[in-house]
Amino acid sequence: DVKVTQSSRYLVKRTGEKVFLECVQDMDHENMFWYRQDPGLGLRLIYFSYDVKMKEKGDIPEGYSVSREKKERFSLILESASTNQTSMYLCASRGAGFDGRRKLTSTDTQYFGPGTRLTVL
Amino acid sequence: AQKITQTQPGMFVQEKEAVTLDCTYDTSDQSYGLFWYKQPSSGEMIFLIYQGSYDEQNATEGRYSLNFQKARKSANLVISASQLGDSAMYFCAMRVRYRNTGNQFYFGTGTSLTVIP
């Protein structure tokens, strides 16, 4: 089974602090994603990475940065946390190799971590 | 623009009854994938079912089936014989492939399902 872990389930930080959220997957997946989830807004993509040292902005990258130094680890960084970054943060990973005509395999599906609920005071 | 719409913020269903959760999508791409995820109160996102845009038959996984109507751009989730443990948020998602950056996923705002004993 794919396993995606996140460093903390709950985190409380103060405004202006630098925050690191870590995500690790054990399936040698190329693609990794960071989302935030807010009531009424669903999941919104912050950043994603399709290979080591590669990163792409998602829909809401402002105020965030990411780091992918190793394939299994994708870190989300809040350089200076603000109260509007209080949210649930979800990490996901998936394998590469997509063919829309093929039946579903594990390479087509995103697998999520348990989430980190971040509160910024 | 890519878009996923879930118009039902909340749904109730009697235990053992079937329920349909609506999802419509908007894409100009010919090749895409559609997913449903379940998120219980514990917070983790659980993959339920997948439908590829070229798949002619509706996907089924146990009590879950995906009613895929390509011309209408809808991908409704049908849960048969609802159980109390089905109470959760359900998210519809679409995966589109971009030439340079690979796949990108888009999620709907979710539907909260409550199963009544």
Probe site for chain A from B45, B53, B61 (most A CB atoms < 10 A): B45
Instruction: Give pairs for B54-58: CB < 8 Å, separation 24+.
Output: B54/A100, B54/A101, B55/A103
Alpha-carbon gap, residue B29 to B95, rounded angstroms: 10
Nearest to B55 by CA among A104, A94, A105: A104
Q: Is B2 left (phi over 0), alpha (psi -120 to 50) or beta?
A: beta
Tell how strand A73-78 and strand A65-70 pair up: antiparallel
Q: Which of A33, A42, A96 sits opposite B91 (nearest CB)?
A: A42
Alpha-carbon gap, residue A16 to B104, rounded angstroms: 31
Nearest CA in chain B to A48: B104
Nearest CA in chain A to B41: A114
* pLDDT tens-digit map of A91-107: 998 865 443 333 344 45
* A69 contacts: CB under 8 Å, gap ≥ 6: A52, A53
Task: Compute the C-alpha angle A52/A53/A55, nearest 5°.
Answer: 100
Alpha-carbon gap, residue A86 to B17, rounded angstroms: 38
Tell how strand B64-69 and strand B60-61 pair up: antiparallel
* pLDDT tens-digit map of B30-77: 888 899 999 888 878 888 888 888 888 898 989 999 999 999 999 999
Q: Is B15 left (phi over 0), alpha (psi -120 to 50) or beta?
A: beta
Alpha-carbon gap, residue A63 to B100, rounded angstroms: 25
What is the predicted pLDDT for the residue at A103?
39
Q: How far is CA B47 from CA A84, A104, B14, B77, in A?
A: 29, 12, 23, 13
* pLDDT tens-digit map of A15-69: 999 999 999 998 888 889 999 998 878 888 899 888 888 888 888 999 999 999 9
Q: For residue B54, which residues of chain A lie inside 8 Å, CB to CB?
A: 100-101
| Chain-chain contact of A43 with B107 (C-beta, under 8 angstroms) | yes
Residue type, A71: K
